Structure 1
Amino acid sequence: MKSFWCERAWLPDGIASRVLVRVDRGLVSSVSTVDTIPLGVERLHGLVLPGFANAHSHAFHRALRGRTHSDGGTFWSWRERMYAVAERLTPESYLALATAVYAEMAVAGVTAVGEFHYLHDGGNEMAEALREAARRAGIRLTLLDACYLAGGIGQPARGVQERFSDGTGDRWLNRVAELRGDDNTRIGAAIHSVRAVPRGTLSLVAGAFPERPLHVHLSEQPAENRACLEAYGLTPTELLAEAGALTPRTTAVHGTHLTAKDIGLLGATGTGVCFCPTTEADLADGIGPARELADAGSPLSLGSDQHAVVDPLLEARALEHNERLRTGERGRFTPAQLVGALTNHASIGWPEAGRIEVGAPADLVAVRLDSVRTAGADPEQVVLAATASDVRVVVVGGRVVARDGAHELLGDVSGLLRTGLGG
């Protein structure tokens, strides 16, 4: 049994001081306030938040950071650079890269990641590399195995896209059925997009694993909406609704260009929406209607997507800042709502996580309140001041995995990244 004393802790009922969290077999066994710090406990100074959930990751996209800005371009020209990275990856090189990326997440406070996985090569070797990478980095993984069959609506997969495709929906289903979860990994499913999965196959993917999380890229670009309307007379959201893909276990990623009807459909079905603000800015996607979706009934989560930045606190702050830019109003989300999105583990199939309470996984993130960024901040508003640089200690399942920017198990993350990136 291990115990952590928290100077301040973000509990379900609010922030409390001098909190003792006892851990048994990786789970919180008791939470209490104490006047005297017991001997032998680990002291966590600052504000201790529940572990962060990164609900949308493409690990191999990390290789693109700082390499795609010389000639401007669009999302579609960026995509060609992404294809070039995908073309050269092997299971061995992917293991090294993903281990480094997940370690980078760990030191930033991420305790579980949803990996939207579509680099298949017709088998599960790449998936197993991701599983092992998460294990080495000490964070939990939800493998969201994506069906990807077409290069666009009515177009076959070509070139490197063939590495993404299983050929048919049934082959995708059979391959994913071979994957097994374990103590550190849960298996989910994904529809890459309405561009990459034909209309006739959407319902197969949506219904394949009804107890597992289902994710889908949705309306990230206006061109996707136009192509869908031209081909089917429906928006992508309406097409997914027709296929039965909008459910409380579903998370739509991006949701940038939605109609009022789309927002209503997503909210009425309890479909979650994952925003990736730094990626959506980096790729010039636009700003989605986050407040309207939340008001309609869609739970919100956050992801780092292509990892232009790995900073969950920055993603949470950008959710609010984007709303301010879009509407000219402040306080579109309360700090508590931002923390809720930051810790939404249910979106990736870990509903028991994301809270500091008895029975939950002992996932803790201690954030400094005395740095140049956070000094003087109201602890309840620290999500609007802190960055990943302020993450002091990260605990996953009762085990310290990161401390002051260094990984306890893997050491210097920058060195891991240099190796994983091939230089």
Structure 2
Amino acid sequence: GLTLTASNTITEGGSIVYTATLTNPAQTPVTVTLSNGAVINIAAGATTGTVAVDTPANDVYNNGSTVSTTITGATGGNFESLVPSTAPAVTTITDSVDATTVTLTATPTVNENGIITYTATLTGADGKPVTAQNGPVTVTLDSGKTITIAAGASSGVLDVAVGNDVYQGPTTVTESIKDASGGNLEAIAPNTAPASTIVSDVDDTTTVTLTATPTVNENGTITYTATLTGADGKPVTAQNGPVTVTLDSGKTITIAAGASSGVLDVAVGNDVYQGPTTVTESITSASGGNLEAIAPNTAPASTIVSDVDDTTTVTLTATPTVNENGTITYTATLTGADGKPVTAQNGPVTVTLESGKTITIAAGASSGALDVAVGNDVYQGPTTVTESIKDASGGNLEAIAPNTAPVSTIVSDVDDTTTVTLTATPTVNENGTITYTATLTGA
């Protein structure tokens, strides 16, 4: 009889050794033909012969297999009858694990709002492309995104939209491979070297807008807030340094690095005039914060300042001394709580004196005067003329408090001659009466 045996197990890329064995030694050479086309020669006088058959070359795929071979024919040996066994010789071919490298590349440069194309490529140890087999390879990036390499392909791509920021200078976007699997590959080794893309600037405008406390009382505080926003209306933060916002008044607001707004508190004064006032402020310019372009929103921010009533005092003064026949000048003066002059606004202030006379303080003025002529008498010694304020109103003032202290003027004598004249009854009879009359008259 004739039987066939083979190597039980080999690694892919190795050789299977087939052995043909005779029950009795051959008297002449025997030729054994196998089902795989190989031929085994058994020499005369021998009972066995061998042949080595190479298996397919080593590859990167999961493809362990079993090879079954039989004898298809045998001749020679001078045997009366040579019957080959039909039992197959079976060999198990096991995989040798070969790593396939997956490498990531990226578009080297793009503009803001552009597209970065990431490409994952499979290569073998020889650097040649390797294709996915029996299914795709899934490549997971550090960002969590995935690239699919389809079955039959050696690479796959992923397009990623690049955002657009408002900051100066190019930025670098970096991505790398975290892991990869699939494609019937024995082992995939990620090349974790990062792929970088430089994203060039496309100038974007950041708007800075001013708001203010809508209403405050006199002596209160207005808080001005400057806020940075992008084209989408969302807050933008200053970067690598502050933004300086300059107001029409010359004041400045600082928006610190890392912040999207800054504030400025401005104390409100207190005036003596009636009615609320409106304080308006706006932005003239802004710079800094590493922003590509800052556009000031120049719309004014207004604050209504409500009245807190303040009293204005009106005080009367007079010429201290005059001669008879002279003129006394009365002056009414407006002052605030700080003693400083206050001007009438939007109309005059009318000051009424106890004598009924009036002094007018014109709009825009803080005082008014009244001249009063002094008479002349014939009597000895100076006289004193006294006047005071009764009330006052007008000038758009919140409240006017008359200083009612009297003011006095000494009127000095100017000597005047009085004539005394004698008259008598012009005619009388004897034994009658003469009447003499002495009469005083002025000049």
Q: Which of the five TM-score ranges fits, normalised by the shorter chain?
A: under 0.3
**Which is richer in helix?**
1
TM-score by length of 1: 0.17
Rg: which structure is higher?
A: 2
TM-score by length of 2: 0.16
**Which is richer in strand?**
2
